[in-house]
Amino acid sequence: MRTTGFRPAVAAIGVCAFALALTSCGSGDDGAASGKTRITVNCEPPKSAKVDRTFFDEDSASFEKQNPDIDVTLHDAFPCEDPKTFDAKLAGGQMEDVFYTYFTDVKHVVSTGQAADLTPYVKELKSYGTLQQQLRDIYTVDGKVYGIPRTGYSMGLIYNKKLFQKAGLDPEKPPTTWEEVRADAKKIAALGGGTVGYADYSAQNQGGWHFTAEMYSQGGDVVGADGKKAAVDTPEGHAVLQNLHDMRWTDDSMGSKQLLVINDVQLMMGSGKLGMYLAAPDNIPILVKEKGGNYNDLALAPMPGGKGTLVGGDGYMFSKKDSPAQIRAGLKFLDHMFLTPGKGFLGDYARAKKNNAPVGLPEPRLFTGAADATDQQVKKANANVPVDNYQSFLDGNQKLQLKVEPPNAQQIYSVLDGVVSAVLTKKDADIDHLLKDASSKIDGILARS
């Protein structure tokens, strides 16, 4: 699930918001007769995103200059992956030679037989061994590599340092457990004047999304390991809902207005009336540029609970129609565009800073080892946001289990939306009944998939 909606790619952690062409997208041939290898690649920023488009095209042109034997055709549209057309294009074999996917797409794409097996080629991708293993694993199915991660995000706790201080809390010591979240939210709400201690989503499938993140934080899940049965009717599921119920009705720390979605909560945080909510780092520029917030007031901590966090992001897969030469060319292109520390479309921090994009957010953090050290060094040298505000997030997330969204995520989130909204709008909501009913409905969704 997207964390913020559309925003400039140079400021994003990773959910691309650009391009799937609605026409036949594969190149049709690999260009061997002309002496060049031809590839089509999607997710070029649209013309409306002028700065991003310029950067993307500049980087692609520099790649072709360095590799005169490769011809790259870029496709743009909005968004990168349109749910209305993605499956039809996939089934019809109409994907680009190198095509954009969300992390949650991987197993589905592989199951259709439309993805090329990259396993024999990844050793030729210079950056592959420098990428975080957990991210590489997302594009690995049954021991075979089918894609390359490009960006990633993980959920954390955004909080307002100014409100923490006003409430007598230490802004350098954010809550690390859900019990501490509840206690801090109560103190923040006691400031009055319409101040809310903690807010959560409960509509448009976003409540189900956050319920899932909260389950992960406590070591739970929404679907069992075999992918066939729901796992929400558990002590962890009960704890998530009981905590929300108690903050809403016993403590009155979540405010009276409910059925909130992401824009509602961002407006509350940007206006200085909200203490905490769950989000990824890419929310922070939105809060400042669009919602009236201040970088100095906004800090980010790891997910409370200390056991896990929901991750999302994107990468590229390759058409099964690609020739070996096209696969090799596509991997070179990804290396150049996205996967070289401190360089490329997402990593050229000096260029981003020059164009007033935020530099210094803790994600995306794709690399490990020496590559990560290089990337972080270049980022820090060009930082234009208060990086110390995000240090606890960086430190804490290294210890959490990273978990992707469940299968059939949107259908499951729709079910869980009803559960979360009931708890937040009905004081006498029966949590046990809600979880049993949700479990039955999720079982039905999984059985039909």
The model's pLDDT over 353-374, given as tens digits with 9 standing for 90+, comes to 999 999 999 999 999 999 999 9
The Cα 11–Cα 153 span in angstroms is: 13
Query: In this predicted structure, what is the pLDDT of residue 28?
Result: 60
Dihedral-angle region of residue 96 (phi above 0 means left; psi in -120 to 50 means alpha; beta otherwise): beta
Collect all residues with Cβ–Cβ distance below 8 Å to 92 and sequence separation of at least 6: none
Strand, coil or helix: 408:
coil
pLDDT tens digits for range 24-46: 456 567 877 678 999 999 999 99
pLDDT tens digits for range 168-226: 999 999 999 999 999 999 999 999 999 999 999 999 999 999 999 999 999 999 999 98
167 with 187: CB under 8 angstroms? yes
- Considering the domain delimited by 156-279+408-448, tell me its CATH architecture: 3-Layer(aba) Sandwich (3.40)
Query: In this predicted structure, what is the pLDDT of residue 19?
Result: 34
This prediction has a pTM of 0.86
Instruction: Indicate whether 375 pLDDT > 80.
Output: yes
Q: Which two structure tokens, joined as six digits, stand for 276?
A: 């905490």
Homologous superfamily of the 9-154+311-381 domain (CATH):
Periplasmic binding protein-like II (3.40.190.10)
Instruction: Indicate whether 18 pLDDT > 60.
Output: no
Lowest mean pLDDT of 4-18, 85-99, 169-183, 298-312, name the range: 4-18
Q: Which two structure tokens, joined as six digits, stand for 407?
A: 């299968």
Give the whole-number percent of the chain exceeding pLDDT 90.
Answer: 86
Nearest to 389 by CA among 295, 321, 313: 295
- Return the domain boundaries, the chain: 9-154+311-381, 156-279+408-448
Do the domains at 9-154+311-381 and 156-279+408-448 have one common CATH topology?
Answer: yes
Instruction: Indicate whether 3 pLDDT > 70.
Output: no
Query: In this predicted structure, what is the pLDDT of residue 26?
Result: 62
Helix (H) or strand (E) holding 41: strand 37-44
Q: Which two structure tokens, joined as six digits, stand for 428?
A: 């006498």
Strand, coil or helix: 131:
strand
Q: What is the mean pLDDT of the chain?
A: 92
Query: In this predicted structure, what is the pLDDT of residue 373?
Result: 94
Query: In this predicted structure, what is the pLDDT of residue 29?
Result: 74
The Cα 365–Cα 405 span in angstroms is: 19
Q: Provide the pairing of β-strand 144-145 with 147-154.
A: unpaired
